[in-house]
């Protein structure tokens, strides 16, 4: 008898019961993309999709096949910018998430 739950089931349960965790996962995904870590960002978005709307729900929302959406978030996936932001919008709506950005100047230490 298995005494452990799958990663996906554990993550889904936590995302459903903990809005702050759900928001942190979304924020980490967006930070990964902005920092050039697209593989990490896609993996985190995939986890969010599985834990919130699901790929079938996302497919209905975006009027695209779930198989196509899976490919977009695969390690070698390369969604168009339009598809990417449609996915982000759907994940935000269905996950009751908000995204706020703040920019600040990058300060480099001066070497003398």
* Tens digit of each residue's pLDDT (9 = 90 or more) over 44-91: 999 999 999 999 999 999 999 999 999 999 999 999 999 999 999 999
SS3 label, residue 1: coil
**Token pair 């994940």 in the structure block, residue:** 91
Residue 1 confidence (pLDDT) above 70: no
pLDDT of residue 53: 92
Domain boundaries along the sequence of the chain: 8-94
Q: What is the Rg, in whole angstroms, of the alpha carbon atoms belonging to the chain? A: 16
Residues 2-15 have a mean pLDDT of 85
- Tell me the HSE value of 94 on the side-chain side, using a 13 A CA sphere: 23
pLDDT of residue 100: 80
What integer best gives the mean pLDDT of the chain? Answer: 90
**CB neighbour burial string for 27-47, b if at least 16 within 10 angstroms, e if fewer:** ebbbebbeeeeeeebbbbbbb
pTM: 0.83
**Tokens, residue 35:** 């920092």
**Tokens, residue 95:** 């996950």
């Amino acid at each position: 008898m298995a005494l452990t739950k799958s990663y996906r089931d554990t993550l889904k349960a936590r995302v459903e019961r903990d809005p702050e965790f759900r928001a942190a996962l979304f924020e980490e995904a967006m930070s990964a993309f902005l920092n050039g870590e697209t593989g990490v960002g896609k993996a985190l978005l995939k986890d969010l999709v599985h834990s919130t709307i699901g790929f079938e729900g996302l497919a209905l929302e975006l009027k695209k096949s779930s198989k196509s959406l899976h490919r977009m978030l695969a390690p070698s996936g390369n969604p168009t910018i339009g598809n990417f932001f449609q996915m982000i919008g759907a994940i935000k709506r269905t996950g009751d998430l908000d995204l706020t950005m703040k920019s600040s100047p990058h300060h480099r230490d001066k070497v003398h």
